Amino acid sequence: MVGGIAGLWGALIEGPRIGRFGGSGRSVALRGHSASLVVLGTFLLWFGWYGFNPGSFAKILAPYPDSDAYYGQWSAIGRTAVTTTLSGCTAALTTLFGKRVMSGHWNVTDVCNGLLGGLAAITASCSVVEPWAAVICGFVASLVLMGCNKLAEKLKYDDPLEAAQLHGGCGMWLLAAHLIQVVVIVGWVSATMGPLFYILHKLKLLRISAEDELAGMDLTRHGGFAYAYHDQDDPDQKGGFPLSRVEPAATTPQSV
């Protein structure tokens, strides 16, 4: 939730990216850099989550107070790994089919965010919930994420990483019973990160210039294009990799 609220303030203060919303207010999907790297990064985060959730126990064997005897925590550690996996996978599958129904196509980056939403939702209670409850947790987390994304589009809120929707929304719903904790986290992060982002915004340190944003940071900051595509029929475009238009071949019925 801390990252979600921090991301919320950063995105609110900076405003949407150039071209994110059209002149009529219509949402415009901006092309990402590499879906393959998104998937790779998601798997790295997923792997690291097992060090974060089960690894938070620190010890597999813990001593009894005022005794030389030890008790094992392997059952709790194993349960934590299972609930973490179930919630993340359930959220990923729910997002996969949910976005297919909503948009009419499959989108791997949405699945990655759904997976992370399920992991974020289960983290607060991963060691105490039953496996069946972890499945419900992941399912609801996916619905919360998709709902928050729809709400963000309506409000013209642009968070490129979906930090507020993913870490904030998915992380908050399971903590609804702990309302005081939610209020404290929101208040503390808002009081610290809100002014910080505002100061960075005023000092023009939080965002690149409009010229750099339009040209792309590959060119302005890294000295070249990572990818350069153009339509073969466009005479004004030079260099890069041509994209050929493939027309369907004319076929004639064959006599038998």
Residue 3 scores a pLDDT above 70:
yes
The pLDDT assigned to 7 comes to 83
Summarised one tens digit per residue, pLDDT across range 164-210 is 888 888 878 776 656 777 788 889 999 999 999 999 999 988 888 88
Centroid of chain to Cα 122: 15
Structure tokens at 212: 């750099």
Q: Quick check: is 239 in a domain?
A: no
Q: Report residue 225's pLDDT band, with 50, 70 and 90 as the boundaries.
A: confident
**Within-domain flag for 93:** yes
Across residues 38-60, what is the average pLDDT?
A: 89
Q: Does residue 82 fall inside a structural domain?
A: yes
Domain membership flag for residue 7? yes
By CB atoms closer than 10 A (0-12, 13-18, 19+), residue 68 is exposed
Q: Which domain, by its residues, includes 104? A: 2-179
- 81 pLDDT above the threshold of 90: yes
Q: Is the dihedral of CA 203, 209, 210, 214 positive or negative?
A: negative
The mean pLDDT of 154-173, rounded to a whole number, is: 83
Length of the chain, in residues: 256
From the number of C-beta atoms within 10 Å of its C-beta (0-12, 13-18, 19+), residue 198 rates as middle
Q: For 93-129, what is each residue's pLDDT tens digit?
A: 999 999 899 888 898 988 999 999 999 999 888 888 8
Domain assignment present for 234: no
Please tell me the predicted confidence (pLDDT) of residue 234. Answer: 53
Tokens, residue 177:
């019973």
Taking the C-alpha atoms of residue 190 and residue 88, their distance in angstroms, rounded to an integer, is: 28
- Identify whether 224 is part of a domain: no
Count how many domains the chain has.
1
Residue 83 placed within a domain: yes
Say which CATH number the domain at 151 has: 1.10.3430.10
- pLDDT at residue 246, as a whole number: 43
pTM for this structure? 0.68
Average pLDDT score over residue span 24-51: 86
Residue 152 pLDDT > 50, yes or no?
Answer: yes
In this structure, is residue 109 part of a structural domain? yes
For 51-80, how does the pLDDT look when each residue is reduced to its tens digit (9 = 90+)? 989 888 877 777 777 777 777 777 888 899
In the numeric block, which tokens belong to residue 50? Answer: 């097992």
* pLDDT (mean) for 5-30: 81
Cα-trace Rg, the chain: 23
Query: Which range has the top average pLDDT, 17-26, 30-39, 218-227?
Result: 30-39
In 74-207, DSSP assigns E strands to: none
